A and B are shown apart, each in its own frame.
Chain A
Amino acid sequence: MEREFEVEGGDFANAGSASAKVKEIVKSIGFSPEAVRRIAICSYEAEVNIVLYAKRGKMKLSVYEDYAVLHVKDEGPGIEDIELAMQEGYSTATPEMRELGFGAGMGLPNIKKNSDIFTIISEPGKGTELRIMIRNEK
C-alpha cells in the first residue's frame, strides 16, 4: 500500500498533519504500537524539517507486510555537511523556528535513532532526500 503527502514549506499550522495520517494508516493496518510510534516520530521530524527549511516537499509512505518505508524528498536548500547535521545539537535554525519548539538539532538524530535503516542524500541548492525503513517488530 502506498500513500503520498504534499507538505508546504512555512505552513506551520499544518505541520504534523500528514504525519498524523501516516500514524493512523500504520496503526489501522495493525503495526505494533512501538512500530507505529517510531514511524510517527520519524515522519513528524521529517515533515517539520520540510516546513522549517524547504519550499515544499513530498512524503511517500509504503507499507509492506512486516515493514514500512518513508521516502521524503524536498525542494529545499540542501545540507552542506551531512555528518555535522547528524550530530545531536547541531542546528541552523533561526530564533523563529526555535519558538515553535523545534530547531534544537535533534531532528535528524531522532530519525536515525527511531529507524532500522536510514539513508540521507543531499546536495546544496537542490534539496534533501531521506529513506527511512522501520520494521514492524512483534
Chain B
Amino acid sequence: MEFQDIAPKLTMLLYGLIGFVVVVGGLLLVLDVVPTWFARRREAALVAASLQSGGAPVARRPRKRREGTLALAFMIPALLLLLIGLVAPAIRTIILSLQNGDSTRFVGLDNYAWIFQENDIVRVLVNTLAWVVLVPLLATGVGLTYAVMVDRARFESVAKSLIFLPMAISFVGAGIIWRFVYAHRGVGDQIGLLNAVWVALGNEPKPWLLDPPLNTFLLIVVMVWIQAGFAMVILSAAIKAIPGDIVEAARLDGVSPWQMFWRITLPSIRPALVVVVITIMIATLKVFDIVRTMTNGNYDTNVVALEMYNQAFRYQENGHGSALAVLLFILVIPVVIFQIRNLRRQREV
C-alpha cells in the first residue's frame, strides 16, 4: 500500500492524538498549576508571617478566607468535569426522554407509559429486579461464608487469591468463558463443562441458555462469580478488624461458633456489609456486558441497560432509550441516598 493511500487516515489519527494531548495535557496543567500556585502563595505568606511575628500565630480570619479560595481552586476542575461529563448529559437525557423517537417533538410522559405497557419491557424490568435482588445476596453470602471459613486457616492468602482472581477478568471475558461452560451441542460430543457434568449424571444434554427463567439465573451466577471475590476481600478485612478483646470475652463466656458468628462477627462488620451489598447492587443495576455477550438479551434474558442501548443506538428510538436511562437513574437514587446516610451516621458515631 502506498503511503499516500493511508495518509488521510494517518492525518485523522494525528488530529485525534493532538486533540487528546491538548485536552488531557490542558487538564493536567490546570489541575497541576492552579493548586501549586495557591500552595506556593500560601507558603510564601506563611513564611513572611512567621518572619514578621517571629513564630506567633497568624491572624485567624484572612487565613480562613484564603483556605476557602484554595479549596475552591482544588474543586473547580472536578466541578467542571462533573458539569460537562455528568450534569449536562443528565439534563439532556431527561429532555430527550420527554420527546419522540427522533427528538423532533415533545410527547410528555408517553415514553414512560410505554415502559410499563410493553410486555417485552416489563419482562426486562422483572429480569433486572431478579438481578438486583439475587446478585448482592448471593455474592455477599458467598463472600462472607468464604471469609469466615478461611479466616486464620492455614492457606488463607492462597485461598483468598483464588476466589479474588475472577475480579481481574472483564465482564465480556467472563461472559465468553461461561458461554463455553454452558455450551450445548445438539449432536456429537458436548464441549460445555456443565453439560459434561449433567450427562455424566445420566441426563440428556440441555441447551442451558435457551430456557427461561433458568437462563437468567445462570447469567446471574457469572456476576456472582466475579463479585464474590470483592465481597470476600472487604468482609475479610472487616472480620480481621474486630477487636480481639471482644472475641476473647465471648470465648470466655463459652459461645458456640454459631453464636459467635451471629452475635459477635455479624454485628461488628455490619457497616462493611452494607457497603458491599450496596456497591454490588449498583454494579448489578448497570449490568450490560454479560447479557450482551452471552445471550444478547434473547430468550427472555434482557435487562434495562441493554434494552436502553438497543433502543437509543440500534433502533434510533431516542425517546424510549432515554426514558429507560432515566428510569435506571431513578432506581439507583434511593440506594445512593441510603449509602450516603449510612456513611454519615457512621462518621457521627
The reply to whether chain A is a binding partner of chain B is no
Residues of B within 8 A of A (CB): none
